[in-house]
Structure 1
Amino acid sequence: MLVDNGVIGDSRVQKAARSAADAGWDVVLLGRAPVGSPQTWRVGAAEVRLVPMPEPLSRRRHEFRRAWLRHPLAYPPSGIAAHRTQAVKAWRADLAVRRAALTVAARESGAGRPGGLPWAALRAEEKLSGLTRKWVGFRNRQLTRARKGRKLDGPWDRAYTLFWRRLRGDGAWRRLEPGLWDYELAYGPVVDELAPDLIHANDFRMLGVGARAKVRAAAKGRRIALLWDAHEYLPGVQPWRDNARWLPGNVAHEREYVPYADATMTVSGGLADLLRTEHGLAERPAVVLNAPAVGELPPDPADPAPDIRARCGLGPDEPLLVYSGVAAAKRGLGVMVEALPRLPGAHVAFVVNKPDSAYVRGLVTRAGELGVADRVHVLPYVPHHQVVRYLGGAQVGVIPIQHWPNHEIALITKFFEYSHARLPLVVSDVRTMAETVRETGQGEVFRAEDVADFVRAVTAVLADPQRYRAAYDRPGLLAGWTWEAQARVLDEVYSGLLPDAPPRPTPPAHAPVEPAQVEVSA
C-alpha cells in the first residue's frame, strides 16, 4: 500500500491496512517520513514503513535566481540572507558583552563611567553595526518580497502551461509538476525491493509510483496487479497554491497512469460515476466508504474517551454544536460563529487539526467581536478510535461545507462519525450529503453560507432532537456504514485482482504498536 502522507492522521489508510492484514494479506504500508530518517511500526498485523523523501524538484528554477529587475538589492536565494542576519546578531551580542566589560572595568577603577579610546571605538562600532543591521534587514525584506511576488499564476505561466500541454499532452506533467518525481525517487526503489504481487495506490500521486513499478516488474517477467484508490475528484480540487501549473500538471499525471490500473476503488458512488466517465473506465469503481470500525465504537473501560463537555466546561443540558475535521475557509465554519448571537445559550466546539492556525484564530476573534467568545471552544483531535465516543457528548453534529465539486459527491468521514455517535445533523446543501440526510431524516439541511437558514435548521433540531436520533434505529442503516462492511468489499477487490493467490491463513493477533496520537482524518 502506498500513501503520500505520514500515515498518522489518515484513518482510511490505517483501517485498510489493518483489515487487509486481518484478512490474511501480507501488508506493507509505505508512507512519507515527516523527518529525514525512516520510521517503522505496526498497525495491527500490517507493517508501516515511512521513507525519507527529499524534495529538490518541488522547487522551481526561478526560486534559485535573483529578481534583478524587480528587487535588485535583494539577497540571492542561496541562504546567504539567513547567514548575514545571524552574523549581525552575533556581532551585536559581542558588542553588548564588550560594553558590559568596559562598564565593569570603569566602575572597579573608580572612574565611574567608561571612556577613552576603547569606549569611543566601541561606540563607533555599535553605530556601524546598527547601520549594518538595517541594511541586512532591508535586503532581507527585498528577498521576501521577491519570493512572494513571483507566483505561478501570471500570463507567462498560463502560456507556459498551455504550450507544454499542447506539445506533450498528458506527459506535460513532467514540466508542469516535476516535484512528482520526488515521490518516485523515494518510493520506487523500496517498492522494487519488496517485489509485491499487488500495489494499492492511494490517491493521485501514488498512482504514478505504482504504475511505473508495474512496468519495471513486467520487464523482468513478473506481474504486479495495480489497484488505484481515488480519494477525491482531482479536477474538482481547489489548488493549494497560486499556481497555474499545479492542477493541470497533476490531472495530466493522473490521466497518463490510469490505464495501468487493473482496478479502481473510491470513496462514494457519486465519485465512482464521475471517475468512470472522466477516464472511460470499463467498470464502475468499487465503493469503500470512509466509515468507522464497529469495534471502535462501544465504550471501553480500559480506554475511556475524553468528555467533550468537560473540556468545554459545560453541563449536561447546555446545547453543544460540534464540528470535527480540518479547519479551512471552504469548510464554512464561519457560519457557526455568525449564528451564535441568534442561538441563545448554544455553544460551538471546533475539534480541529490545527487549533492555533490563523484561520481558527480568526474565528475566535470574530466570536469576540460578536460578544460570544465564551461560547466558542477550540479543541484538538483525539485518537481516531475514540472519535465517535468523544463526539457523542454533543447534541448536534454540523457539516457546513461550501459548494466545491468534491464536496458535492461524497459522504465524508465526519458524516459517518456523527452518525455512529447518533447525533442529529445539520448539513449544508451539498448534493450527496443533503440527499442522504433528507432521505434518512437524521437531520436538517441549510443553504450553504446562509446564516439565517443555518439558525433555522439548528433551532429545529434542538427543539426535538429525539425525532432525528430515531432515524438511526432504521434496520441496517448504521450496519452498512461500518468499516467492517467496507473491508469485505476491499477483500473482494484484492481477491479479484489475484485469483490465483494461495489460501491466506489468518495471521496471529498482534497488539497494535502505534504512535500515541493517531488522529481522526478530515
Structure 2
Amino acid sequence: MVHPRRIVMLVQNGVTGDSRVQKEAESAAAAGYEVVLLGASPSGRAEEWALGGATVRLVPVDRVFDRRRHQMRRGWLRSPLAYPPGPLASYRHRQARAWRADLDTDRARGASALSLAPREAAYRAFWAWTGLRRKATRRLEADRAAAAGRVDRLAASFWKAAMGDRAWRRLDPALWDLELSFGPVVDALAPDLIHANDFQMLGVGARAKLRAAAAGRDVKLVWDAHEYLPGMKSWKHHPWWKEAQLRHEREYAPHADAVVTVSDTLAEMMRERHRLPALPEVVMNVPDTSGGVERPEPGLRERCGIGPAVPLMVYSGAPLEQRGLHILVEALPALPDAHAALVVSYPHWRYVKRTQERAAELGVADRVHVLSYVPHRQVVPFLAEADLGVIPIHHWGNHEISLITKFFEYSHARIPVVVSDVKTMSELVRTTGQGEVFTAEDTADFTRAVTAVLDDPERYRKAYAERVPLDEWTWDGQAKRLTGLYGRLLHG
C-alpha cells in the first residue's frame, strides 16, 4: 500500500481567522495529500481538530525571548539606582504597602502617635527610597524597550556589522520562540513537504528541511509570502524588530524550493528582492465558491439588531490602526441613518475598544456593531447583507500593491465597495465601477463616497454583471495552481 505524501503547513496565528491557510489545507487534503496544519495556540494549550480532510494542531508557544538579553542585565552604569530585572521591584513595593497597612492597624488599635513615630519615620524613608528606585527602574525599562539610547544604537550597529543577516538572533531573539515550539513538532511529523506561511515561519521550515537533509531525508520547502516585508508596518514598536525580520528572511529565503505569493506585482518584487531563479507562483486569496458556501445563522443584520431597510456599511478584517476602520465611526454623525458593522478577528483588542469609546463620545454607539469572524465558507453570504463594504486602509507600501482578501469577499458578495486611494485597488475600482474611491484618512471625502453609494446602489451593483471578472476570482483555480506546484516538487 502506498501512503499519501505528508504536507505540514506552518502559520504563526491561531488558524481560525486565517481563511487563506484554511483553504490551502482543505484543498491539499482534497487533492490526496495527508495535511497537518500547525498554528500557534492563543490559549497556551495544545488543541486539535479536523478541517475538511486536514488536521489542525495548535502548538503552545512559550514567549521567553520577547525580552532581549541586555534587558535581563542590571543597568549598573546606565541607572545604578534601578532594581535588577525580576520581581524585586514589585516585591519592595508590596513590602512598603504591607508596612503601611500594619501601621494603620496599630493606629486603629489605639497606639499613640508618639509610640508610632519611629516606625512611621522609618516607613516614610523606606517608601521614598523604594519609590526612587522603582522610578529609576521604570525609566531604565522604557529606555531599553525603545532602544533609543546611544549604547543601544552602538550595540545594534555592532551586531549588524559583525553578524550580517545572522544579526536577527540579537536584534529579535523572539524568533527562536517559534523555532523551539514548532521545530520538534515538525520533526516528529516527518513531512515530505513543508508549506511555511509568511516570513517568520520561513525560518522554522528552512531549519526543519536542513535537519531532515542531515538525517538523509529529502523535504521540500514552499514559502508562501503573504506580504512584502520591506513595505510592511512593524508589528512591534521596537526599532530593531523590522530589521531583524528582514535579515531573518534573507538568511532563509535561499532554502525555499518554491515561492508562492498573492499577486503578480508582489511576485515580481519578490523575485527581484531575493534573486529567485523562478517567478513565484501566484495564488490569490479569493473566496471558495465551489459549492461549499454556507449561510450563517444568525445573519449580519440580525446580529446587528437592524432590519433590511437600514443603511449598513461593513468592515471585515484585522483591527489594525493602519487599516483605518475608525473612519466608519468618525463619519456616522454625518450619516444619520447609517449603521456600521465591524467584523474583526480580535474584538477585544485595544484599538477596537478605543473605536467604541470614540463612538460613545460622538453619540453613535448604538449604530456601531462589533462582531466576530464567521467561518470562511460563510463570509460571502454574511457580508452580502450589507449595503456596502469598506476598505479604508492607509498609505503603506504593502497597501499600495495589494488586492486584499476583503476586496474579493466584498466582490463575491456583490456589494458596492468604498476604498481609499491606495494605488492598485483604487485603479481597479475606477476601472470596474463597482464602488467609490476616497482620499485615505479624509473623513469628509469618505462620507461623500459612502453617500454616493447609498444614494444610487444599483449603479455600482450593475458592474458585477458587466465588468467585474468574478469567474477569475474563485478559489478553485487558485487551488489547482497550488496543488500543481506540490505535484511538481514531490513527483517531478
> Please, which of 231, 255, 263 is the counterpart of residue 236 of structure 1?
231
Please state how far the C-alpha of 1:348 moved relative to its aligned partner.
2.0
- Verify the 8 A CA contact 2:432 2:467 in the aligned structure 1: no
CA distance change for structure 1 residues 92 and 391 in 2, over 3 Å: closer, same or farther? Answer: farther
State the distance in 1 between where 2:292 and 2:142 align: 47
State the distance in 2 between where 1:123 and 1:489 align: 81
State the distance in 1 between where 2:71 and 2:163 align: 25
State the distance in 1 between where 2:376 and 2:88 align: 44
> Please, which of 445, 449, 454 is the counterpart of residue 446 of structure 2?
454
State the distance in 2 between where 1:134 and 1:383 align: 55
- Verify the 8 A CA contact 1:153 1:243 in the aligned structure 2: no
CA distance change for structure 1 residues 69 and 23 in 2, over 3 Å: closer, same or farther? Answer: same
CA distance change for structure 1 residues 224 and 467 in 2, over 3 Å: closer, same or farther? Answer: same
Alignment-derived partner of residue 332 in structure 1:
324
> Please, which of 38, 41, 60 is the counterpart of residue 33 of structure 1?
41
Q: Which deviations, in whole Å up to 9, do the C-alpha atoms of 1:173-195 show, x marking residues without a partner? A: 23322322232232222222222
Alignment-derived partner of residue 519 in structure 1:
none
CA distance change for structure 1 residues 164 and 326 in 2, over 3 Å: closer, same or farther? Answer: same
Alignment-derived partner of residue 310 in structure 1:
302
Pairing 1:8–2:16 present: yes
Percent of aligned positions with the same letter in both sequences? Answer: 57
State the distance in 2 between where 1:364 and 1:32 align: 28
TM-score for both structures, normalised by structure 1: 0.83
Within 5 Å, which residues of 2 pair with 1:237-256?
237-256=232-251
- Number of corresponding residues: 483
Q: Which deviations, in whole Å up to 9, do the C-alpha atoms of 1:429-458 show, x marking residues without a partner? A: 111211221222211111212223222211
State the distance in 1 between where 2:375 and 2:116 align: 58
Q: Which deviations, in whole Å up to 9, do the C-alpha atoms of 1:129-184 show, x marking residues without a partner? A: 78766765664444333212221244544443343333333222233223222322
Please state how far the C-alpha of 1:298 moved relative to its aligned partner.
4.4
Within 5 Å, which residues of 2 pair with 1:506-517?
none
Instruction: For 1:23, give the aligned amino acid.
Output: A
Pairing 1:21–2:13 present: no
State the distance in 2 between where 1:369 and 1:33 align: 36
CA distance change for structure 1 residues 54 and 364 in 2, over 3 Å: closer, same or farther? Answer: closer
CA distance change for structure 1 residues 316 and 132 in 2, over 3 Å: closer, same or farther? Answer: farther
Pairing 1:195–2:178 present: no
Instruction: For 1:332, give the aligned amino acid.
Output: G
CA distance change for structure 1 residues 133 and 385 in 2, over 3 Å: closer, same or farther? Answer: farther
State the distance in 2 between where 1:133 and 1:305 align: 58
Instruction: For 2:472, give the aligned amino acid.
Output: G
Pairing 1:413–2:408 present: no
> Please, which of 140, 151, 165 is the counterpart of residue 146 of structure 1?
140
Q: Which deviations, in whole Å up to 9, do the C-alpha atoms of 1:212-261 show, x marking residues without a partner? A: 22222223332111111001111112123343322222111111211111
- Verify the 8 A CA contact 2:314 2:389 in the aligned structure 1: yes
Within 5 Å, which residues of 2 pair with 1:308-387?
308-387=300-379
Q: Which deviations, in whole Å up to 9, do the C-alpha atoms of 1:86-136 show, x marking residues without a partner? A: 55566677888x77xx98xxxxxxxxxx5479x998998789778766765
State the distance in 2 between where 1:482 and 1:153 align: 47
CA distance change for structure 1 residues 41 and 59 in 2, over 3 Å: closer, same or farther? Answer: same
CA distance change for structure 1 residues 59 and 463 in 2, over 3 Å: closer, same or farther? Answer: same
Alignment-derived partner of residue 275 in structure 2:
280
State the distance in 2 between where 1:452 and 1:439 align: 23
Please state how far the C-alpha of 1:318 moved relative to its aligned partner.
2.0
State the distance in 2 between where 1:374 and 1:28 align: 43
CA distance change for structure 1 residues 253 and 451 in 2, over 3 Å: closer, same or farther? Answer: same
Instruction: For 1:4, give the aligned amino acid.
Output: Q
Alignment-derived partner of residue 45 in structure 1:
53
SS at the partner of 1:290? coil
CA distance change for structure 1 residues 87 and 162 in 2, over 3 Å: closer, same or farther? Answer: closer
- Verify the 8 A CA contact 1:296 1:386 in the aligned structure 2: no
CA distance change for structure 1 residues 182 and 306 in 2, over 3 Å: closer, same or farther? Answer: same
Please state how far the C-alpha of 1:475 moved relative to its aligned partner.
8.4
Within 5 Å, which residues of 2 pair with 1:163-174?
163-174=158-169
CA distance change for structure 1 residues 469 and 133 in 2, over 3 Å: closer, same or farther? Answer: farther
Within 5 Å, which residues of 2 pair with 1:369-518?
369-474=361-466, 477-499=469-491
SS at the partner of 2:37? strand
SS at the partner of 1:57? coil
Pairing 1:294–2:289 present: yes
Q: Which moved more, 1:338-347 or 1:360-369?
A: 360-369
Please state how far the C-alpha of 1:389 moved relative to its aligned partner.
2.6
SS at the partner of 2:370? strand
Structure 2 unaligned regions, length at least 5: 1-8
Please state how far the C-alpha of 1:379 moved relative to its aligned partner.
2.9
Please state how far the C-alpha of 1:287 moved relative to its aligned partner.
1.3
SS at the partner of 2:431? helix
Q: Which moved more, 1:48-57 or 1:427-436?
A: 48-57
Please state how far the C-alpha of 1:466 moved relative to its aligned partner.
1.4
Please state how far the C-alpha of 1:417 moved relative to its aligned partner.
1.8
CA distance change for structure 1 residues 28 and 357 in 2, over 3 Å: closer, same or farther? Answer: closer
SS at the partner of 1:294? coil
- Verify the 8 A CA contact 1:226 1:260 in the aligned structure 2: yes
CA distance change for structure 1 residues 464 and 253 in 2, over 3 Å: closer, same or farther? Answer: same
Q: Which deviations, in whole Å up to 9, do the C-alpha atoms of 1:472-519 show, x marking residues without a partner? A: 22488333323233211111111111125xxxxxxxxxxxxxxxxxxx
Q: Which has the higher contact order (CA 8 A, sep 6+)?
A: 1
Q: Which moved more, 1:313-322 or 1:80-89?
A: 80-89
> Please, which of 186, 201, 212 is the counterpart of residue 181 of structure 2?
186
- Verify the 8 A CA contact 2:143 2:149 in the aligned structure 1: no
State the distance in 2 between where 1:492 and 1:155 align: 52
TM-score for both structures, normalised by structure 2: 0.87
State the distance in 1 between where 2:424 and 2:268 align: 13
Q: Which moved more, 1:447-456 or 1:262-271?
A: 447-456
Instruction: For 1:267, give the aligned amino acid.
Output: V
Alignment-derived partner of residue 261 in structure 1:
256
The Cα RMSD (Å) is 3.1
State the distance in 1 between where 2:111 and 2:188 align: 73
State the distance in 2 between where 1:289 and 1:215 align: 29
Please state how far the C-alpha of 1:273 moved relative to its aligned partner.
1.4
State the distance in 2 between where 1:256 and 1:240 align: 20
SS at the partner of 1:58? coil
Bigger CA radius of gyration = 1
SS at the partner of 2:34? coil
Q: Which deviations, in whole Å up to 9, do the C-alpha atoms of 1:357-404 show, x marking residues without a partner? A: 433333334444444444333333334333323222211100010110
CA distance change for structure 1 residues 463 and 17 in 2, over 3 Å: closer, same or farther? Answer: same
Instruction: For 1:222, give the aligned amino acid.
Output: R
State the distance in 1 between where 2:30 and 2:123 align: 66
